[in-house]
Amino acid sequence: MHDFTVTPYAVEGDVDYDRLLERFGADRLTDAQIADFPQPAHRLLRREVFYAGRDVDRFTAAATRDETVSVVTGRGPSGPMHLGHVYPFYFAKYLQEQTGAHVYIPLSDDEKYFAKDLTFDEIHEYTKENLRDILAVGFDPEKTRIIVDTEDADVVYPLAAEFAKELTPAAMEATYGTPPNVGLGFYPAVQATHLLLPQLVHGPHPTLVPIAVDQDPHVRVCRDIAAKQRHDVTKPAALLSKFLPRLGGGGGKMSTSDEAPGILLSDDRETVREKVAKHAYSGGRSDLDEHREHGGDPEVDVAYQLLFYFFEDDDAELERLADEYRSGELLSGELKEYAADRIADFLEAHQARRPEGPIAEVVDPYRLTDAERERLRPGVFG
């Protein structure tokens, strides 16, 4: 049995997603649950990239009744964004468009200072560029709020302090292990604040947190806090995704620090083609004649997997590619070219939507309003 590590701060080895569900206590999504989402179901749902969760039914039932719902999904700004970072945001946009959900997007610049060997100046430069990429997704500013922890500390910190009182050192160690510093030991209370903010602004309602499975401990801790709180809040629901594959294959998730690099949201078409051609693990045969005779394996081919996860929406086209690859009609290089062009098409459209101008101005429509802040931060001088 292969060993692997999945925590909010490290993912190593070939991940066994079923074993993770046993470890985390989440449930695999059923066909009926997927059918309860707005139809046609998003490709990330129907292809089981989002494959498990908790209390998902409460969110979909409320959305079906046109009741208030919200979605929370965030970003840790420790570097430039790559493909693996952005697809949860596009999924959140789909939910906003289909259900009218409020979307809250926290950027945990403080957590990255505690966890990474970076200065705040470096982290804040990444934060500014990450914000441009998040806004390029196209969220509705009337129903979207962006929170940056150090910029919105007047709201975040008092709530985090209140929630931290519900967390014991033993519970934190059982969930995260021993933190390397006091900052990371406190951060789960900040993350709980992120996940409960929509309810603290708009009143109790179902909140869905679509995240990669390595971030699930934060949701579990928040759910425990919500159960104990004097605030009128409900436990946030979790929707857990698999990792966008590394270009080099072998399990794990896409990263900019791998030998096989991640594909950045800033990459141009030629760079995408070079990265996919050089680094994407192939499920094809090493010999052309052998490939023509025996075919390739799309299940391990990273170019195909990238198409499967996000970059080919047409199920019939995806199946055609798989069939031709298995038969040997489609070569590995041809599949890589097809995938690279689809990814580049996506990136060019994304890059064209990146807002220009001073970051404070482009983000301002998405920040908490004065009335929302007053609701969240009654204090000594309030």
For CATH 3.40.50.620, the residue range(s) in the chain are: 5-243
- What is the average pLDDT across 93-105? 98
Q: How far apart are CA 250 and CA 282, in angstroms?
A: 11
Least confident stretch, 55-59, 106-110, 217-221: 217-221
Asked if the model's pLDDT at residue 287 lies above 60, the reply is: yes
Asked if the model's pLDDT at residue 372 lies above 80, the reply is: yes
Tens digits of per-residue pLDDT, 298-346?
Answer: 999 999 999 999 999 999 999 999 999 999 999 999 999 999 999 999 9
Asked if the model's pLDDT at residue 13 lies above 70, the reply is: no
Q: Which pLDDT band holds residue 4 (cuts at 50, 70, 90)? A: low
Strands 50-54 and 27-28: antiparallel
What class is the 269-352 domain? mainly alpha
Please say whether the beta carbons of 332 and 284 come within 8 A. Answer: yes
Q: How far apart are CA 350 and CA 161, in angstroms?
A: 38
- What is the average pLDDT across 217-229? 89
10 vs 337, higher pLDDT: 337
Q: H helices within the chain, ranges in order? A: 17-24, 31-35, 43-46, 56-64, 83-99, 109-115, 120-135, 153-164, 169-176, 182-202, 216-228, 269-279, 288-294, 302-306, 315-327, 332-352, 359-363, 370-376
Q: How far apart are CA 91 and CA 343, in angstroms?
A: 17
pLDDT at residue 232, as a whole number = 85
Four-residue CA torsion sign, 154, 187, 94, 66: negative
**Residue 147, beta-bridge partner list:** 106
pLDDT at residue 104, as a whole number = 98
The yes or no reply on domain 5-243 and CATH 3.40.50.300 is no
- What is the average pLDDT across 248-266? 73
Tens digits of per-residue pLDDT, 228-240?
Answer: 877 789 999 999 9
For CATH 1.10.240.10, the residue range(s) in the chain are: 269-352
Asked if the model's pLDDT at residue 24 lies above 50, the reply is: yes
Nearest to 267 by CA among 334, 353, 343, 333: 343
Tens digits of per-residue pLDDT, 128-156?
Answer: 999 999 999 999 999 999 999 999 999 99
Mean pLDDT of the chain: 91
Asked if the model's pLDDT at residue 259 lies above 70, the reply is: no
Cα dihedral 375/61/104/83 (nearest 10): 170
Asked if the model's pLDDT at residue 35 lies above 60, the reply is: yes
- What is the average pLDDT across 337-361? 98
- Quick check: helix, strand or coil at residue 238? strand
Please say whether the beta carbons of 134 and 89 come within 8 A. Answer: yes
Least confident stretch, 8-22, 33-47, 223-237, 309-323: 8-22
pTM over 0.95: no
* DSSP labels, 73-125: --B--SS--BHHHHHHHHHHHHHHHHH--EEEEEE-HHHHHHHSS--HHHHHH
pLDDT at residue 258, as a whole number = 56
